[in-house]
Amino acid sequence: MTQAAAAEHYTKLERLYLSSPTNEYYRPKIHIEEGTAHIEIDVRSELFHAAHAVHGSHYFKCLDDAAFFAVSSMVRDVFVLTANFTIDLMRPIDEGRMIAEGRVVSRSRRLFWAEATLRDAQGRQLARGSGTFLPSRIELCPAVGYR
């Protein structure tokens, strides 16, 4: 694949991500390159649990999305599925920005392994996660937001 075709694939994946209805709520930013993805979400009180810090489910979303799109950068024809994802929560965040970095660490003929870290704007690690991903039978096309 040429550099131009790869760049077009990453841009289409970014549009797919941003067009997802759930991201109307999160209002994230995303940047994808080969085997990596960078996602940023601003901390807002609507993301808090009762102790006034971001709920762990939002950590999961950031980490899974970053790892998922790192893998998706390497799969050019079909939608990827998360088969398994595990997270470790390390510290709370109640202001600023959550920044997730995902990267592919290994692959076999059918499976991809990826990991992600979640940090605050000062670079402190909030959480980390890792998972396995596999290609689906769902074609990447405009109907799924790949345009």
Residue 130 CB-density burial (10 A; 0-12 exposed, 13-18 middle, 19+ buried): middle
Question: What confidence tens digit (pLDDT) does each residue in 66-87 have?
Answer: 999 999 999 999 999 999 999 9
For position 23, what pLDDT does the model report?
Answer: 96
Q: Which residue type does 34 have? A: E
For the chain, the domain total comes to: 1
Q: Which of 78, 28, 13, 26 has its CA nearest to residue 55?
A: 26
Query: CATH number of the domain that 105 lies in?
Result: 3.10.129.10
pLDDT, mean of residues 79-108? 98
For position 1, what pLDDT does the model report?
Answer: 76
Which residue range forms the structural domain that includes residue 82? 3-144
Could you tell me the pTM of the whole model?
0.97
Question: What confidence tens digit (pLDDT) does each residue in 18-36 have?
Answer: 999 999 999 999 999 999 9
